[in-house]
Copies of this chain bind each other. A is one copy, B any other.
Amino acid sequence: MKRKITLKHIARELDVSISTVSKALKNSPEISKDTREKVQAFARLYNYKPNNIAISLKNKRTRNIGVIIPDIVHHFFTTVFRGIEHYANDRGYNVIVCVSDESFDKEVVNMELLANGSIDGFIMALSAETQQKQDFNHLKELGEQGIPLVLFDRVTSEVACDKVIIDDQAAAQMATQRLIDSGKKRIALFTTESFLNVSAKREAGYRRALEKSGLGVDDNLIIRLPHQFEEETLSAAFFESQEFDAVLCVNEIFAIRAMRIAQELQRDIPGEISFIGFTDGLLSKYANPGLTAIAQHGEEMGRVAAELLIDRVEEEDDLEQELPPYRTCIIPVSLIERESTQLAPSKN
């Protein structure tokens, strides 16, 4: 087992000083051509690679970024993650992931662990519990410590930092409007408890579209399902007690389950009932019939988030160059039409 070789070994072997080796490897003009070549040849021969940890300690920069997400087995988050990872890698950064499991405590613990030198900045989406508690002290502290933070998707106006979101309200309004345009009159909304920021905004957009079009909102058509979805919660009963001709769902699972119940009740899709779901994931694509979905372009979101973060991390190196103000990027959504709807062509 050949141990890793260090500058010190090379120096001793070649009978020069550590500083000379270090400079020679960086091609410093301070070192003679002869010595440089000798050192570089030796280094290559023994496959010398500098120790990342030592460099991090010296530079106070790790080239690691911390990503904290509520769940990893979740199509949207993994999509964002892929965007982050690709962009970060291209700029020479590695990604450390922690999963909060929607728990406030795990979020705090994980962040504190990483904040002590392991990373140069954070990218995260708030856990459900954090949004419920509205406790953001751990995030505010980052600011005081000078650790950059980018929030995506699940954000809060309580903390000042860069953000990347979609315009949930506009997206929901657009989708609802498209259903209205296609002739639907009674549109239901399947959503979650409203402490989730995104759900609240989507509901607002849904309401707005109905009001603007003069159809008005019937609160009986809005049903709120628990965040941790249980199969029985969404039952056929609702389909039989209420009349509606379209459904907007704040996520894929709700939509898929709802479609299945409709099929069991022999309702025609999209004729009798149309369905649109948020988040264009695997389920939407492979459902039968295919589910019309609002694509959030997670990969693009991740790319932008990583770019904002790394830019800020690297700007901080230039001491006292004043930092740009915090930005909020809005990633445009798009509506992917499939068989669960029969929409008129878009006006745009």
Give the B-binding residues of A (Cβ under 8 A): 1-4, 49-54, 56-57, 62, 64, 72-75, 78-79, 81-82, 85-86, 89, 94-99, 110, 112-118, 143-146, 253, 256-257, 259-260, 263, 282-283, 286-288
A1 to B140, CA, bound (A): 11
Q: Looking at the complex, which one of B73, B99, B263 makes contact with A288 (CB distance below 8 Å)?
A: B263
Q: Looking at the complex, which one of B78, B118, B256, B287 makes contact with A73 (CB distance below 8 Å)?
A: B78
A283 to B75, CA, bound (A): 12
A57 to B62, CA, bound (A): 13
Cβ of A325 to closest chain B Cβ, rounded Å: 16
A95 to B114, CA, bound (A): 11
Q: Tell me if A's interface is mostly helix, strand, loop or mixed.
A: helix
Assembly of this chain: how many copies?
2
Do residues B1 and A116 form an inter-chain contact, with CB atoms below 8 A?
Answer: no
Cβ of A292 to closest chain B Cβ, rounded Å: 16
Do residues B99 and A2 form an inter-chain contact, with CB atoms below 8 A?
Answer: no
- Residues of chain B with a CB closer than 8 A to A259's CB: 288
Q: Can you pick out 28 interface pairs between chain A and chain B where the beta carbons lie within 8 Å of each other? A: A2-B145, A3-B145, A3-B146, A4-B145, A49-B116, A51-B57, A52-B113, A52-B116, A53-B56, A53-B57, A54-B57, A72-B78, A73-B75, A75-B282, A78-B78, A82-B99, A89-B110, A94-B98, A94-B114, A94-B118, A95-B97, A253-B286, A256-B286, A259-B288, A260-B286, A260-B288, A282-B283, A288-B288
Q: Looking at the complex, which one of B2, B73, B85, B98 makes contact with A98 (CB distance below 8 Å)?
A: B85
Do residues A116 and B51 form an inter-chain contact, with CB atoms below 8 A?
Answer: yes
Q: Given A49-B116, A113-B94, A282-B283, check contact A99 B73 (CB 8 Å).
A: no
Do residues A53 and B118 form an inter-chain contact, with CB atoms below 8 A?
Answer: yes
Q: Looking at the complex, which one of B49, B95, B144 makes contact with A96 (CB distance below 8 Å)?
A: B95
- Residues of chain B with a CB closer than 8 A to A116's CB: 4, 49-52
Given A2-B145, A4-B145, A89-B98, 18 other A-B residues pairs in contact with their CB atoms under 8 A: A2-B144, A3-B145, A3-B146, A52-B117, A53-B56, A53-B57, A53-B117, A54-B117, A73-B82, A78-B78, A86-B99, A89-B110, A94-B118, A95-B96, A96-B97, A282-B282, A282-B283, A288-B288
